[in-house]
Structures are given as C-alpha cells and as structure tokens.
C-alpha cells in the first residue's frame, strides 16, 4: 500500500485551463515537498511546506499543506505546455536532519497547446 496517494493519476488539459492535483495520506508528515519530473530527467524540487495550513506560491503554482499535515494540493493557473510533466509529492515524517523521503506515485500532466 502507498503511504502517499496522488490523484488524479493522469490529467490532460488544454492550454489556459486551471487544474488541481492532490496528495493524501493517513499519516502525519513533518514536511511535504513537490517535485516535477520530465522524461529522461531526475525530479526537480518545486517547493517544501512544513507548517499545517501553509500556502506557498511560485508564479502560477499554488501549494497548500493541509491543517493536519496529512495532505497537500498543487493548483496551477492558466496551464502552459511547459507545465507538462510528472508531479510528485514527497513527505518526511521525522524531526531529525535526516529522514527518509517517501514519494507518492505521481500525477502525469499533459498540457495541450
């Protein structure tokens, strides 16, 4: 069973549309990270959220950490073809300088011009 679930698994939208992808767990996380991965490349970190209820914005991307620190969402406004990729959420549960990062299965986003 996946510790982190992501939905939807696949998403295909037209350029200019808005979208939200979700990351959910039954476990509490001390921090959650969002990555974007393009084919043939490694994941690239977009943001880290650590406080319950925290909202961070990165240009057209808005990230929210749930109040209970069990879930997170990523909202993209006016999607562009360059947003195409695999969006991964990843969480850590410990409070030490090292903690195993657990990845979700990803949401594959395709933005059609």
Partner 1 sequence: GAGVSQSPRYKVAKRGQDVALRCDPISGHVSLFWYQQALGQGPEFLTYFQNEAQLDKSGLPSDRFFAERPEGSVSTLKIQRTQQEDSAVYLCASSFAGTRSLPGPQHFGDGTRLSIL
| Chain positions contacting partner 1, by CB under 8 A | 4, 6, 30-31, 33, 40-45, 48, 50, 88, 90, 92, 95-106, 108
The least distance separating partner 1 from the CB of residue 16, rounded to whole angstroms, comes to 27
The least distance separating partner 1 from the CB of residue 48, rounded to whole angstroms, comes to 7
The least distance separating partner 1 from the CB of residue 4, rounded to whole angstroms, comes to 8
Sequence-distant (6+) residues with CB within 8 A of 85 are 36, 37, 38, 108, 109
Rounded to 5°, angle at Cα 89 from 51 and 36: 120
Closer Cβ to partner 1, 59 or 100, answer by number: 100
Tell me whether strands 71-76 and 85-92 are parallel, antiparallel or unpaired: unpaired
């Amino acid at each position: 069973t996946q510790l982190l679930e992501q939905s939807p698994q696949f998403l295909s939208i037209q350029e200019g549309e808005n979208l939200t992808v979700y990351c959910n767990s039954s476990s509490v996380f001390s921090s959650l990270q969002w990555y974007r991965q393009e084919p043939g490349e490694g994941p690239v970190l977009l943001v880290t959220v650590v406080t319950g209820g925290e909202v961070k914005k990165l240009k057209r991307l808005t990230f929210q950490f749930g109040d209970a620190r069990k879930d997170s969402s990523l909202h993209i406004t006016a999607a562009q073809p360059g947003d195409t990729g695999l969006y991964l959420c990843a969480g850590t549960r410990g409070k030490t300088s090292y903690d195993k990062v657990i990845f979700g299965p990803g949401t594959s986003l395709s933005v059609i011009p």
